[in-house]
Structure 1
Amino acid sequence: KTTLLKCLDGILRGGEGRIEVKGRHLSAYSSRELARLISYVPPGDGTPIPFTVREFVLLARYPHLSPFSSGGKEDREAVWAALEATGTGSLADRYLDTLSGGERQKVLIAAALAQGGEILLLDEPTAFLDPKHEEEVYRILVQINREGGRTVISVTHDLNHALLVSKRILALKGGSVLFFGPPQIMVEQGILELAFEKSFRYLSHPDSGKVLVFPEWDL
């Protein structure tokens, strides 16, 4: 799944098949054009980043800057809008290395927003986060999609996250597409059982009515 995201973003090239974005083959885009169209948020790995939050998010404006430019009014406004959208404005002058995992993840999303792409790719955006920050991250992503009009594509191993927030789910097995469509249809067709070769129990969320899934364990 990570490989697929990197192919979509143009990080990995070659191989078989064809990837088109907005009717154009991926190879027809220059690196700068692609960076203005697609933003990629890698999995948080705790790599040291010696910048303040504001400086780091401004770096994401690189597709819009001329060489040696430090950014103008439009770039600073884009940075602040991204910080506000992710609830990280109060962290602007903090160094990334002083942030919690959840705060850092929201800053990574802010950088992707400041980059300005119409398509946002995220690789395991809530891995290693506590429930509070998981909810905050997904609330931000849902808002980006519904109100910001951006396409959000996220890799996750958390089945309930996928079922609760997704409009469509792509399930892969052995490098091939097993299913692509609405979550409810995926459940009705027994795709999870095919994907994981395991039985599941299904419940309805008490508030939203959406399906929740739990693997059957024989302990």
Structure 2
Amino acid sequence: MTLAYDKRVIAEDLSVEIPDGSFTVIIGPNACGKSTLLRALSRLLKPAAGTVLLDGKDVHSQPTRTVAKTLGLLPQSSTAPDGITVAELVARGRYPHQSILRRWSTEDEHVVQESMLSTGVADLADRHVDELSGGQRQRVWLAMALAQQTPLLLLDEPTTYLDIAHQIEVLDLCAELHERQGRTLVAVLHDLNHAARYATHLIAMRAGKVARSGLPAEVLTAELVEEVFGLPCRVIDDPETGTPLVIPAARRSTGATV
């Protein structure tokens, strides 16, 4: 497919397949098309050419409510309505499940509470979203995405604004959703070591193209990192997980003295 904003082409002749039941992570340098690809997968951006297929059907030909029951999105940046509380925002994740015949239920309430507990924001339920820190807001948006209970979840830089401890908490939660609930996850991440540790399928992009895709151990090599990111490095086994661990090359000393 071709992805473009007006006449500015971001990606051309781009072909991507997300394995069912995978935790797919998309990596690549800034402005390579990662987030644009995610926007196309989520139906926020219609390809200038080509088609996005969801379960074999054009995602743009399906009713919005049908897609919303299958596919959830945590965008890179989100703005909450003024004055909305955390609980009210998370509850919006249940809207695709509402209809004239099905109103708010005890099941909906249970899902909202569980989503807030899973993301560590249950104690913020009555707080206004605009009062929270960036990290807290990010976890609230993730809770809303979880409350949607879709089998496919797209996450655009879900660890933005989070300190290292909360980054790991969020990614551990994502891994649990994938492993225990069988959800298919697609995430854009900047941290290569996080990507290698959590992904079951890795897509490396460069200049609007897929440079390589496959298992993290096959994709994340020193040669690939230098080719895609221009970063000389060593790739070793992570002592905790055995997954690839990228070690940037040390800066060479000039030997100058003062």
Alpha-carbon shift at residue 47 of structure 1 (Å): 6.0
* CA gap 1:214/1:48 in 2 versus in 1, 3 angstroms: farther
Change in Cα spacing, 1:188 to 1:160, as seen in structure 2 (3 Å) is closer
What is aligned with 2:114?
81
Q: Does the residue aligned with 1:147 lie in a helix, a strand or coil?
A: helix
**Letter matched to residue 25 of structure 1:** D
Matched, 1:71 2:110: no
Contact 1:9 1:40 in 2 (8 A): yes
CA distance in 2, matches of 1:61, 1:45: 18
Partner of 2:229: 196
Aligned-partner SS, 1:61: helix
Contact persistence 1:186–1:192 (CA under 8 A): no
Give the TM-score normalised by structure 2. Answer: 0.77
Aligned residue number for residue 5 of structure 2 = none
Of 149, 154, 171 in structure 1, the residue corresponding to residue 182 of structure 2 is 149
Number of aligned residue pairs: 218
**Contact 1:201–1:213 (Cα < 8 Å) also in 2:** yes
- The structure with the largest helix share of the pair is 1
1:42 maps to: 75
Counterpart code for 1:127? T
What does the per-residue CA deviation read over 1:56-89, in whole Å, with 9 as the maximum and x for residues that have no partner?
Answer: 111121212237x872223212212212322322
Distance 1:108 1:212, change over 3 A: same
Q: Per the alignment, do residues 203 and 153 of structure 1 end up closer, same or farther by CA in structure 2, a change over 3 Å counting? A: same
Aligned to 1:3: 36
Distance (whole Å) between structure 1 residues aligned to residue 170 and residue 243 of structure 2: 19
Work out which of the two has the higher radius of gyration on C-alpha atoms and give 1 or 2: 2
> Greater CA deviation, 73-82 or 107-116?
73-82
Do structure 1's residue 167 and structure 2's residue 200 form an aligned pair? yes
> Could you say what secondary structure the match of 1:60 adopts?
helix
Q: Is the 8 A contact 1:44 1:125 kept in 2?
A: no
Correspondent of 2:191 among 131, 146, 158: 158
1:48 Cα deviation (Å)? 6.5
User: In structure 1, what is the Cα distance between the partners aligned to 2:55 and 2:225?
Assistant: 31
In structure 2, give the amino acid aligned to 1:155.
V
Matched, 1:211 2:244: yes
TM-aligned CA distance change 1:188 to 1:132, over 3 Å:
closer
Structure 2 counterpart of 1:94, one-letter code: R
The separation in 1 between residues aligned to 2:179 and 2:218, in whole angstroms, is 22
Distance in 2 separating the partners of 1:216 and 1:23: 44
Identity among equivalent positions (%) equals 36
Instruction: Give the alignment's Cα RMSD to 1 decimal.
Output: 2.1
> Which of residues 220, 228, 239 in structure 2 aligns to 1:187?
220
Contact 2:222–2:233 (8 Å) recurs in 1: no
Aligned counterpart, 2:93: 60
Residue 92 of structure 1 pairs with residue 125 of structure 2: yes
Structure 2's unaligned 5+ residue stretches are 1-33, 253-258
| CA–CA distance in structure 2, aligned partners of residues 154 and 22 of structure 1 | 19
Question: Unaligned regions of 5+ residues in structure 1, if any?
Answer: none
CA distance in 1, matches of 2:78, 2:63: 28
Per mean C-alpha deviation after superposition, the further-off stretch among 32-41 and 7-16 is 7-16
